[in-house]
Amino acid sequence: MRKTARIILGATAAVLLAGGAGAITPAAAAGHVPTSAECNNKAHPPTDPAVIGGCIVMNRKLGNCIACHAIAGASLPGNVGPRLVNIKRRFPDRAKLRAQIWDATVRSPRTSMPPFGRNKILTGKQINEVVDFLETI
């Protein structure tokens, strides 16, 4: 009896895992950060700009946004900056959201947020991808 239960549980886990692997892009579209496995998949690198942007946000050597911001699904975030939620409602104007990432000091001169565009930490293309991702959360 016990053994059967374990087998059934094992099978369920396998189905869940398989489902998870198939649902990689929708996961990011639903407002969650992509996994590192997804970001570092050399055979099938992400092609959806919003997923690429999510990877930039999570990458410690690129955006590293979670050093300061909590984002749903990100572990061990910092709390120097506000939690990033409902971004599309907070920033209906995409240009204003992009400007915040490009150079946050324009809006708040004493901010601790690095001016990612002005200081060339990220390229213009990368910032567009980050914005694409932010609009999903």
Q: Which is nearer to ligand HEC, 100 or 136 (CB)?
A: 100
| Tokens of residue 63, six digits | 């955006």
Q: Least CB distance from residue 78 to ligand HEC, whole Å?
A: 7
Residue ranges in contact with ligand HEC by CB under 6 A:
57, 63-65, 67-69, 80-82, 84, 90, 100-101, 104, 107-108, 111-114, 116, 130, 134
Q: How far is the CB of 79 from ligand HEC (least distance, A)?
A: 10
Q: How far is the CB of 18 from ligand HEC (least distance, A)?
A: 32
First-last CA distance in the chain = 44
Burial of 12 (0-12, 13-18, 19+ CB in 10 A): exposed
- For residue 101, count other CB atoms closer than 10 A to its CB: 23
